[in-house]
A = this chain, B = another copy of it.
Amino acid sequence: MLKVPDHQVAGHQGGHGQPGPLIDDSGRFYKPLQDDDRGAIEAAFYTSFSSNTRVPDHIRRFFPVFHGTQLLDASDGSSQRPHLVLEDVVSGRSHPSVMDVKIGSRTWYPEASEDYIQRCFEKDRKSSSLRLGFRISGLQLYGSEESGLWKPERKLVHNLSTDEVRVVLKKFVSSNSPTDPNLNPDCSLASSVYGGSSGILAQLLELKSWFEDQTIYHLNSCSVLMVYGKKKVLKGGSSDAEVKLIDFAHVTEGNGIIDHNFLGGLCSLIKFISEILTSPDECTTKVYLQNSDNKNEEILTSSNECTTKVCL
């Protein structure tokens, strides 16, 4: 009954001697506990969060429901190991488009080891994290029936320029082909996916209000997952777009201080998304990422040419 999910876009996937997550048909996601501290920290976070009465109800929906831990055969058949049993936040959507955005200009934290700090420090500087306050960690988009799924290599997604990040956030809500280098993203789904009273922007703003106030947790190296069923929206149906926070292997206690690192990055992401909604005709640098299914090598180019084409 358990199988490997085909929609995971970031995080610890199976392979390279590591077991990966599993899903079942009832909408549950089984995440193997990592061997080191990280597994213990993530399990402790879910346990603490589930029972923490200081977390308001309207905020709980932004976190996957936690159903405890369970011993399961690992996805690579290596051995039994404990898994977190979580809500599968992607299931139930037809042609889900998913984006994993790691929030924070800094993914390390004072309590971490020097070695870990140095590694994160370098990665934050090389990726867009330091500059933008977030980085796109993973991505899958449905193009069309013809072009199918577009899931660029993670390495490529990590090292996007500011303009490229802007284009990818537009592609996420566009109906034209994400892989055609001659097309600018048309942003035709922006108002139904990002906009509206229950769209992604409204959800991010609700989270922002909470982060301005909450001093319980510091969500170091945690991601905002944005997901929606593209097929439904393309057919003119209402959007089921959802924001979820995931990956809590580096959470620390807030100790009475807000998570200013997460909050700053979240506000930066909010600004990017707001601009797509309010100024879709803004200068777009031509950028294209080709599908790795079509070419052996992914190509990412950007020109300085400024097109003022209206994209809504």
Please, which residue of chain B has its CB at the minimum distance from the CB of A257? B132
Of A58-66, A185-193, A238-246, A263-271, the one contacting chain B is A263-271
* Given the contacts A215-B271, A267-B212, A260 and B133 also touching, CB distance less than 8 Å: yes
The distance from the CB of A163 to the nearest CB of chain B, in whole angstroms, is 9
Q: Is the CB of B256 within 8 A of A260?
A: no
Write out, one digit per residue, whether chain A residues 116-142 have a CB within 8 A of any chain B CB (1) or not (0).
000000000100001111000000000
**Chain B residues closer than 8 Å to A261, beta-carbon distance:** 105, 133, 264
Protomer copies: 2
- Contacting B at CB under 8 A, from A207-249, are 212-213, 215
A113 to chain B, nearest CB (A): 14
| In the complex, A162 has a CB within 8 A of chain B | yes
Question: Which of chain B's residues have a CB closer than 8 A to the CB of A215?
Answer: 271
Which of B125, B256, B257, B271 is in CB contact (< 8 Å) with A258?
B271
- Interface band, chain A: 20 to 34
CB <8 Å contact, A256 and B162: yes
Tell me if A110 counts as interface (CB < 8 A to partner B).
Answer: yes
Indicate whether A106 reaches chain B with its CB closer than 8 angstroms. Answer: yes
A197 within 8 A of B: no
A255 interfacial contact with B, CB 8 Å: yes
B130, A110: Cβ atoms under 8 Å?
yes
Residues on A lying within 8 angstroms of B by beta carbon are: 105-106, 110, 125, 130-133, 162, 212-213, 215, 255-258, 260-261, 263-265, 267-268, 270-271
23 contacts between A and B (CB under 8 A): A105-B106, A105-B260, A105-B261, A106-B106, A131-B257, A132-B257, A132-B260, A133-B258, A133-B260, A133-B261, A162-B255, A162-B256, A162-B257, A212-B270, A212-B271, A213-B271, A215-B271, A257-B268, A258-B268, A260-B264, A260-B265, A261-B264, A263-B264
